Amino acid sequence: MGVLFPEFSLHSYFLQLGKDQLTENLLNEILSDGVHIELSTHYHQLSLKSCLEFVELAQMNDIAIDRSLLQRLAKGLEFYQFMQHPNGEIPLINDADEGDFRYVLKQGSCLFQDESLLWAATLGSEGKPPQILSKYFDRSGYFVFCDTWGKDSETYQHRQHVFYDCAQLGEGTHAHFDLFSFCYYVNGQPAIIDPGRYTYDAIPDQNGINWRKAFKSTAYHNTVEIDGKDQTCYIPKAKPGKFKFGSPIEVLERDFCLGNRSDWVSAKAKSAEYSPIHQRFFLYMHRQYLLILDRVYIDDAQSHQCTLRFHLSPEFIDRVSLKPAEHSVIAIAPALTIHTYQTPGLNAQIESGWASKKYGIKTPAPVIALTQVQSESLCFCTAIAPSTAPQSNLEILSLQRMNDPTDTILLLRVEGILNGQLFYDYFCFSQQNTPAWFQRFGLTFRGHFLGIRIDHQGKLIYLISQKAQQIEIETDFQFTSEVEQSIEWLV
């Protein structure tokens, strides 16, 4: 009003009031890492749009803008650039619908003279790619990983992209119960997805289904559901369609490494809804495939049902199959394969799920569900890889455990083919919260996690670790420290 009606006697007052309140509101809405305070990818786009309109209107009228707001806007654009799928869509995190807001990135690239924003806005047709492949947004708890930013539009849209949620609940009521969930874009399409929002109507339908609650639920995300409960309780209010949240789930012991070749995140989740603790170790191995270890710590001697789900694209409906292998269960889909180690009592099935890109419209989608019922601590070990990977010529052949379940370590092996040559990736995890020993392939290791790659000639060529105290690789590398460190080594 202050800009549009300069003839008003209160023109200066309206101008200052509008500027101050918009600045305060936008600084409150966008966190210091650039992510919207409600942690919704869709509302993030809308806030950026409003912020850019405010800044451009001010600049056209020679009105000075608070420098801190411009810095926050730049951070917000950076998050958008990273979280956007390579095809221009967005992962539907928390309450979100699809929407093409790439023009916002283009406006931002002009405002800040940022060629990397233009690269994302044009899907690799103009501008220059960012310098880093992986990013941690420390205020929200979101991670984004990718294997490349591409060289042109075609390679941009066929790269891998991973969005990982290691965040607390967002502010307001737009949050979903989705801690440790993720989205995986491979082979030119979203393959493992977040089903989205679908509706704000919390009144049950004629079949008694509250679709608002369903799409928020832990079961509708790519994480572990325990005893059929949500990570955070959904509490209906007396007024139909109204609700509130119970005690939010806690994120504990978050640790991560964004390496030169691999990225990993480790954290625990403590819920007020059930006694077991869920720990997920999420590794983007060599930025080629995902290795996920889910451990559920049970110490109450009670039986607990734990279900790990992977929600797949609606494009894969009736095109997904389960194949039993010697050591694992393999889910085969058009864009990727999911190998899960066959622990005793593991039950695998394809469930009928739903996904919603547009408000009020839901589409059938396949869901891989892996269930164990135990009264002792248990784990799920999963390797997820593109079914075909033209850029790297990668194929995962098998996932198996290489040691006895009673050992003090968990040792996994992934066998694969890269550029026509065999390789083996070994993963050693401490079974307890103490360092473990590993000796093999001329390597001595003491720490909490170790990942290595052995090439077709049997040579150790790569290593990544968590909380290492000792690493010795024959005469090539030696590391000893009383302080635990995360080390990455490449031959």
Up-side HSE of residue 387: CA atoms within 13 Å toward CB? Answer: 14
Mean pLDDT (the chain) is 93
Residue 223 sits at the vertex; the CA angle it makes with 97 and 446, to the nearest 5 degrees, is 135
Domain ranges of the chain: 1-130, 160-390, 402-491
Is 160-390 a CATH 2.70.98.70 domain? yes
Per-residue pLDDT tens digits for 178-210: 999 999 999 999 999 999 999 999 899 999 999
pLDDT given at position 469: 95
Instruction: Enumerate residues 6+ apart whose C-beta is below 8 A from 450.
Output: 426, 427, 428, 438, 463, 464, 465, 466, 468
- Taking 50 as the pLDDT cut, the residues of the chain under it are none
The DSSP result for 208-268, as a single string, is S--HHHHHHSGGGSSSEEETTB-SS-EEE-SSTT-EEE-SPPEEEEEEEEE-SS-EEEEEE
pLDDT given at position 241: 58
pTM of the prediction? 0.95
pLDDT given at position 73: 97
CATH class of 1-130: mainly alpha
Tell me if 325 sits within 8 A of 246, measured CB to CB: no
Per-residue pLDDT tens digits for 228-285: 999 999 887 756 656 678 888 999 999 999 999 999 999 999 999 999 999 999 999 9
pLDDT given at position 390: 55
pLDDT given at position 388: 67
The DSSP result for 95-140, as a single string, is S------HHHHHHHHHHHT-HHHHHHHTTTSSS---S-S-EEETTT
From edge to edge, which strands make up the β-sheet containing 443-447? 436-440, 443-447, 468-473, 477-485
